[in-house]
Structure 1
Amino acid sequence: MLTLFHSPRSRSSRIVTLLRELEALDKVAIEIVDITRGDGSGRKDPRNPHPEGKVPLLVHDGVVIWESIAIIQYLTNLFPEKKMAPVAGDPQRGRYLSWLAWYAGVVEPVLIAQAAGISHQFLDSTFRGPAELAARLETALTDSPYLMGERYTAVDLLLHSPFAWYPAATPDSDVVRSWVKRCGERPSLQWTADYDARTMAAA
């Protein structure tokens, strides 16, 4: 049995979107839980098995998987037929995994520091900065509509998500802005937005 612990309009929304892309929503029970949000609203929900009360959290037959990157890898491996990720042995697998790791290790730290107005040489040397982030995306997207080439994959879903939530952080690049817009027009994104709105209205 697969269970996703989800809070509407949070980081777990992109996992719901992924499930929609994988056509796997009928195979996963979605448990709606509360979370403590950045504006101070919400609370740590005792129904959520995540030790820090965060989402997303995936439970598969009693095995707990946390962190978006791990959950994305787990689900795309579990449902490979939709080709949202290159499978093991595919020559593009290494590039795909690198994008996932880059998001967790670089993109989120850089964007959070930028939003907080924090700048320090240690941060810049370790994580790089907005300029390097923008250059990496622009280089990858100059000759391709998506990060892995012609096909939309889970790395596009993941990496475009912070710019959808925080448009001010979107690099000043026509190529990157077009990619963000292209990813944002996926029917799965609108489905998740509607699902979250219905869920919140019913709460």
Structure 2
Amino acid sequence: MSLSLYYHPYSRAAGTLWALEEAEVAYDLRVIDIMKGEQKGSELVAKNPMGKLPTLVDGDVVVTEASAIALYLADRYAPGRLAPALDDPRRGAYLRWSFFAPSVIEPAVMAKHSGWAVKEVAAGWGSFASMIAAAESAIAGKPFVLGEAFSMADVVLGGTLRFMMDFKQIDPVPLFKDYVDRLKVRPAYQRAEARNLAMRSELGLQ
């Protein structure tokens, strides 16, 4: 049985295609028209009460949240290749930077660009400057989060940095740009991007 991804090319589900391609697992797309609000329809809400994309269905298992889906795919379908083993000391860094992307990068960027008045000591994401410094430390002096070995943590962290730089929410400093450029040459990334572009065309989107 192939996996099903509830998807729209202008949602976070677009990035989930990269995770699926890296995992080398068969999947099908169930397109949800977010322009018409279909993500709040009964079919998707029954699986994901948030009514949001991406939502992954793997048999009887439902996984939501882009980062959780990526880590699930690595653990289930590519253990040892995309995810360090449970007793591998590298798993600490793997989990640390995978969770850093949605729990620190995203809210820090949102806070800055929305002008939120928050106390750094009270906000789980600290400050924008400290977030940038931490993200830089994750990849400084090495090609990937785990050093020479690519992992699903790079899909999560690198995909987040790519998105933020594309939308000019994070400056494309050389360290980040070089890291993302290394990720973009991966065949799985290129397959995912080609499918996203094809789906945009199929759906008549710019």
Pairwise mapping of residues 29-68 of structure 1 onto structure 2 (< 5 A)? Answer: 29-35=28-34, 41-45=35-39, 46=41, 47-48=43-44, 49-68=47-66
Q: Does residue 188 of the first structure (1) align with residue 188 of the second (2)?
A: yes
Report SS of the residue matched to 2:38.
Answer: coil
Question: Normalised by the size of structure 2, how large is the TM-score?
Answer: 0.83
Paired residue total: 196
RMSD of equivalent CA atoms: 2.2
Match 2:104 to one of 103, 106, 116 = 106
Counterpart of 2:119 in structure 1 is 121
- 2:56, 2:118 → 1: CA distance? 35
Deviations 1:56-79 (A, max 9, x none): 111122222111122112111111
Of stretches 142-151 and 181-190 in structure 1, the one that deviates more from structure 2 is 181-190
Deviations 1:148-175 (A, max 9, x none): 1112211111112233223223346422
Report SS of the residue matched to 2:98.
Answer: helix
- 1:8, 1:110 → 2: CA distance? 24
Structure 2 stretches lacking a partner, 5+ long: none
**What's the CA shift for 1:129?**
1.8
Q: 1:127 to 1:164 in 2, by over 3 A?
A: same
Q: 1:156 to 1:124 in 2, by over 3 A?
A: farther
Structure 1 stretches lacking a partner, 5+ long: 36-40
Deviations 1:122-156 (A, max 9, x none): 57743112211221122232221111111221111
**What's the CA shift for 1:23?**
1.4
Q: Percentage identity across aligned positions?
A: 27
**What's the CA shift for 1:96?**
0.8
Q: 1:133 to 1:87 in 2, by over 3 A?
A: same
Q: 1:42 to 1:151 in 2, by over 3 A?
A: farther
Deviations 1:21-65 (A, max 9, x none): 1211x2x22211122xxxxx4413434242232111111222221
Question: Normalised by the size of structure 1, how large is the TM-score?
Answer: 0.85
